[in-house]
Every structure is written in structure tokens, then in C-alpha cells.
């Protein structure tokens, strides 16, 4: 359900916020500065662009540093326990800063705030926090900020369990002028037994295709040539809309947008990947030759316990089919090691699948127990065993990727240059269609441009190249 009334309301709050920031400016002698720190995935990165858009429209300047900030907000992630620990660590630093700057206000939002245990802990041990909200009401940020500055109510906590509403047309400050993420859906219905996302992001809701297309057209008018469609399971896009539409059909419509050069998407759940999608990928000129297809485990026993709803064999068959039908495609994946009940033999299965699929890239994670998920009450693996198995998997992943990635050496490819190379002076870095990074000689003028390069040196996960 799209709500335009709510959008109008929030724009009114942005106007009111300008009065607040003007007042702050008078008191402190400078335009108030805001710092936004983002943890977690691309959805959070996208949400942070919206937070920044509201802050800037409301009269704040953005700052990269917390030290000179008058307002700090952390957009949190809770996918694994170490994500939570980073936020608590950071809060300690902020407490210190707050003692030095009496105008400093601190806010927390994002996935971690959807957990009751977290809120209880912050209430008790981090009482200097001024504002907390969750994932469902992020569109109310302007209103909440206004309340925080105008009411003397102590810590404001506003967390919702869910929302049917999708609020469009709020401002955003984009990180890259030439590429952007675009939400196509929110939430997740899959309930993989290890995963906290369905609990903190709520049920799956798709945006109307017209809204998505409009956003992309506006982005292209604004200089974007690459977009990344975002959703926890893009393959089930379109369910529940008044006029149901498949993800493949959405891609076909997006392909027609003039001026758009590259289309990426994330994440594809193997259980829902259709032949129709493979066909669209095979025939498209704009969809990048890269598919992120999270495996999680190569053992059917573990996959069943994870509620992934595919088997070792069906995953392998799918990977082979894609490689066959979409020549030149790179496959990347996510793997979890140490899921409850996992044995050495299960990890052998995972290693077998990695070798057979030949992933160009794989993100390997140690299983992290998340309170409230079904896997949390299963018998957990021993830490030492998990570390050993993790090292085995990591080694396989690195070896496989290095041989795979090196195979393009000597060929000419097009890259989209994204940034100055921080490690090698006089170089810039970009990505091929298959998502693999290439470093070439260049300067700031290359950024955002498509450049043809010859791959001259393979470094395992990336290349050096020369402009041709
Ligand atoms: N929706 C995506 C995944 C989003 S989370 C999908 O289904 O593929 C990104 C990755 O984090 C997952 O693919 C998984 O590998 C990892 N992950 C999720 N929960 C985890 C947990 N409890 N412990 C360790 N890794 C986890
Ligand atoms: Fe988590 Fe599974 Fe949903 Fe991905 S599909 S977000 S892993 S529950
Ligand atoms: Fe983390 Fe939330 Fe993304 S838990 S991985 S920020 S959806």
C-alpha cells in the first residue's frame, strides 16, 4: 500500500525541521552537522541515503566524522552477533563525545532496534541515547527528529512491529552520482531457521512496478547509468500486488529505460529462480553477467534444517543450467559454517559444491546464534570444530575463485570506473559486468565512465588492466 498522505506529512516536518536547525545555528554559531554511520547490507545503505536526504533537506550539513558532529545516527544491523557488538562499542565512544559537546544528540535505528532485548539494554545501560526508531517507520525520521528537538521528553523510542505502508517520494542523498540501489521489495517471508531478517524487517511487500520505473527514470535523468535492484528475495517480487507481475517481467520493463546501461540485482533465492529469469538474463543487453546465488550449505541435511527448500543436487543443477544458458556469467555465493548439527561430512558436501560450481566469489560466515530464531534452540556446534571447518571452506573458496577469476586474462572488457584507488597512486578502480574489480591508470575524470580495458594481470580476486 503506497501512502501519499504520509509523504506530504513528512515533507511538512522537513519544513519545520528547518526552523529547528536555524535556531541551532544561532545558538552554536554554525550550521548543525550530522553524521550517519551505516552497518549491514545494501538495504541499510539505501536507507541511510534516505536518512541523509531528510537531514540535508531539514537544514543539516553532513560530516564524515563524529568528532565535530552535532547529531549522530547509527543505522544498525543485527545479522550476526559481531554486528551488534560493533554498535555497543561505538556507543561507548559517543558517550564520551557527548560529554564534550552539550548540543550533541544521538539516535539509533535499523534492524538491531527491532529486538526487544536490545531496547531493554539501551534503556538500562546507554541512557544518553536521545532517539530510537526501527525499520518500519524510518520514513517518519523528519517527524521524530522534530520531536526530539522540540519536546523535552528524554529518550524517544518509537518501534513498530510491522507496517503495510510504503512511503514514496522522500528525499535522498546518494553516495555515487552514477549508480544507485533501488528497493523493489521490503521484508522477507522465508524464515530460514538461522536468520533474524524476517523478524526485524517484517513480511515481504513489493513496490508497484510503476513506482520502481519512475524512480529509475528519475535516477537516469540525474546521471545514473547503473542500478542495483534490492530485495531479500528478488525472485519472489510481485506477489501480493494488485496486478501480479514476475521479477523477470519487471526486468524486461526496466531494460527499456533509455540511458540506463547496467542492471544488477540482489539477492536471488535459489528456490525461486525461474527459467523465465534465466531467459531474460540470457537475452538482455543491460543485465550484468553476475548472479549472487546464496548456497549457505552444500549438505541437503543441513539445507533442510535451515529451511532453505532446495537440495545439494537441485542447487548444482541450477548453477549448471545458468552457466550454460548465460555464457560468461560469474556466480557468487554466501556460505554459513557451523550451523547446528553440522558435521565434517556436511562440510565436505559444501566443499564439493564450491568446487563444482566454481564460484568467482564467495562470502563465508561463521554461524551466529540469533535469539528468537528456530536454530537458536538447536544443539550448537563446538567453537573449535567450527573454526577448523571454516578454515577448510575458506581455503577452498579462495583457491577456486583464483583459478576462475584468472581465466579472463588478456581479454578486453568494459568497466564502470567507481573510485580512486586508495592503495595505488594514479590508479582508479572499476567493475566489469561480472562484478569483478579491475584497477587501471587514471584520475578523477574517469569516475562514472564506462571504459574498455585489456586485462593484463590477474591477482586472484581482481585484475590490473590497461585502457584500450
Ligand atoms: N536474503 C539473502 C540473505 C541476506 S543475509 C538470502 O537469502 O540469500 C546475508 C547473508 O548473511 C546470508 O546469505 C547468510 O549467509 C548470512 N547469515 C544470515 N544469518 C546468519 C547467521 N545467523 N549467522 C551467520 N551468517 C548468517
Ligand atoms: Fe534471511 Fe532466508 Fe530471508 Fe535471506 S531468505 S533474508 S537468509 S530468511
Ligand atoms: Fe543486517 Fe538488516 Fe541487512 S540485519 S544484513 S542490515 S536487513
DSSP class per residue in 344-371: HHHHHHHHHHHHHHT-SEEEEEE----T
Grid look-up 540506463 returns 260
461 confidence band (pLDDT: 50, 70, 90): confident
Look at 3-12, 200-209, 375-384 and tell me which has the smallest mean pLDDT.
3-12
Question: Of 5, 323, 7, 330, which is closest to residue 142 (Cα–Cα)?
Answer: 7
Average of pLDDT values for 139-161?
A: 94
Q: How distant, in Å, are the alpha carbons of 83, 181, 200, 215 from that of 75?
A: 11, 17, 13, 23
Q: Which residues, 6 or more positions from 423, have their beta carbon under 8 angstroms from its beta carbon?
A: none
The confidence score (pLDDT) of residue 5 equals 87
Check pocket membership of 111 for ligand 1, CB cut-off 6 A.
no
**Ligand 2 atom 5, closest CA:** 190
Query: Within its chain, how far is the Cα of 174 from the centroid?
Result: 14
Residue 331 three-state SS = strand
Average of pLDDT values for 374-400?
A: 97
Whole-number mean pLDDT of the chain? 96
The confidence score (pLDDT) of residue 289 equals 98
Output the CA 274–ligand 3 centroid distance in Å.
25
Output the CA 267–ligand 2 centroid distance in Å.
9
Span 405-414, pLDDT tens digits:
889 999 999 9
Average of pLDDT values for 306-329?
A: 98
How many CB atoms sit inside 10 A of residue 259's CB?
Answer: 12
Check pocket membership of 80 for ligand 3, CB cut-off 6 A.
no
Check pocket membership of 269 for ligand 1, CB cut-off 6 A.
yes
Output the CA 126–ligand 1 centroid distance in Å.
28
Q: Tell me the pTM.
A: 0.96
437 confidence band (pLDDT: 50, 70, 90): very high
Task: Answer whether residue 152 shows pLDDT above 90.
Answer: no
**Ligand 1 atom 10, closest CA:** 334
The side-by-side arrangement of strands in the sheet containing 330-337 is: 290-292, 330-337, 361-366
CB-neighbour burial class of residue 210 (10 A; exposed 0-12, middle 13-18, buried 19+): exposed
Task: Answer whether residue 167 shows pLDDT above 90.
Answer: no
Q: Which ligand is nearest to the CA of 294?
A: 1
User: Percent of the chain beyond pLDDT 90?
Assistant: 94
Domains of the chain: 3-158 (3.40.50.12160), 179-406 (3.80.30.20), 412-467 (2.40.50.140)
Average of pLDDT values for 133-155?
A: 94
Check pocket membership of 281 for ligand 1, CB cut-off 6 A.
no
The confidence score (pLDDT) of residue 1 equals 63
Output the CA 44–ligand 3 centroid distance in Å.
7
The confidence score (pLDDT) of residue 349 equals 98
- Contact predicate 374/380, CB 8 Å: no
User: Percent of the chain beyond pLDDT 70?
Assistant: 100
The confidence score (pLDDT) of residue 165 equals 80
Check pocket membership of 358 for ligand 2, CB cut-off 6 A.
no
Amino acid at each position: 500500500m503506497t501512502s501519499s498522505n504520509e509523504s506530504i506529512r513528512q515533507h511538512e516536518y522537513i519544513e519545520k525541521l528547518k526552523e529547528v536547525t536555524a535556531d541551532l545555528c544561532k545558538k552554536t554559531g554554525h550550521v548543525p552537522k550530522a553524521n550517519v554511520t551505516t552497518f549491514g547490507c545494501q538495504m541499510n545503505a539505501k536507507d541511510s541515503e534516505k536518512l541523509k536526504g531528510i537531514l540535508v533537506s531539514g537544514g543539516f550539513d553532513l560530516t564524515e566524522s563524529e568528532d565535530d558532529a552535532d547529531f549522530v545516527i547509527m543505522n544498525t544491523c543485527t545479522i550476526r552477533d559481531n554486528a551488534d557488538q560493533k554498535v555497543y562499542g561505538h556507543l561507548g565512544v559517543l558517550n564520551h563525545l557527548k560529554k564534550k559537546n552539550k548540543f550533541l544528540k544521538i539516535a539509533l535505528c535499523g534492524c538491531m532496534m527491532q529486538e526487544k532485548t536490545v531496547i531493554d539494554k539501551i534503556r538500562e545501560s546507554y541512557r544518553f541515547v536521545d532517539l530510537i526508531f526501527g525499520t518500519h517507520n524510518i520514513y517518519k525520521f523528519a517527524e521524530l527528529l522534530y520531536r526530539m528537538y522540540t519536546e523535552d521528553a528524554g529518550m524517544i523510542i518509537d518501534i513498530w512491529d510491522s507496517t503495510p505502508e510504503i512511503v514514496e517520494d522522500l528525499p535522498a542523498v546518494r553516495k555515487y552520482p552514477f549508480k544507485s540501489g533501488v528497493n523493489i521489495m521490503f521484508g522477507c517471508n522465508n524464515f530460514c531457521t538461522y536468520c533474524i531478517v524476517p523478524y526485524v524487517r517484517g513480511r515481504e511487500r513489493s513496490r508497484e512496478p510503476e513506482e520502481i520505473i519512475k524512480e529509475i527514470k528519475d535516477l537516469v535523468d540525474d546521471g545514473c547509468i547503473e542500478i542495483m535492484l534490492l530485495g531479500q528475495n528478488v525472485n519472489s517480487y510481485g506477489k501480493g500486488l494488485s496486478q501480479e507481475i514476475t521479477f523477470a517481467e519487471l526486468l524486461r520493463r526496466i531494460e527499456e529505460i533509455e540511458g540506463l546501461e547496467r542492471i544488477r540485482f540482489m539477492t536471488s533465492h535459489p528456490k525461486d529462480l525461474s527459467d523465465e529469469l534465466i531467459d531474460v538474463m540470457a537475452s538482455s543487453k543491460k543485465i550484468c553477467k553476475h548472479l549472487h546465488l546464496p548456497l549457505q550449505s552444500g549438505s541437503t541435511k543441513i539445507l533442510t534444517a535451515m529451511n532453505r527448500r532446495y537440495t545439494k543436487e537441485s542447487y548444482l543443477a541450477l548453477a549448471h543450467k545458468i552457466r550454460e544458458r548465460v555464457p560468461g556469467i560469474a556466480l557468487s555465493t554466501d556460505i554459513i559454517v557451523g550451523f547446528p548439527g553440522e558435521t565434517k561430512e556436511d562440510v565436505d558436501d559444501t566443499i564439493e559444491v564450491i568446487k563444482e560450481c566454481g564460484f568467482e566469489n564467495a562470502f563465508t560466515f561463521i554461524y551466529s546464534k540469533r535469539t528468537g530464531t528456530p536454530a537458536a534452540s538447536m544443539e550448537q556446534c563446538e567453537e573449535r570444530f567450527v573454526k577448523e571447518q571454516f578454515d577448510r571452506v575458506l581455503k577452498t573458496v579462495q583457491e577456486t575463485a583464483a583459478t576462475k577469476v584468472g581465466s579472463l586474462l588478456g581479454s578486453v572488457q568494459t568497466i564502470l570506473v567507481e573510485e580512486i584507488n586508495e592503495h595505488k597512486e594514479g590508479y582508479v578502480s572499476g567493475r566489469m559486468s561480472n562484478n569483478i574489480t579491475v584497477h587501471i591508470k587514471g584520475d578523477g575524470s574517469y569516475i562514472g565512465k564506462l571504459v574498455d580495458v585489456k586485462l593484463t594481470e590477474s591477482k586472484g580476486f581482481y585484475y590490473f588492466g590497461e585502457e584500450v
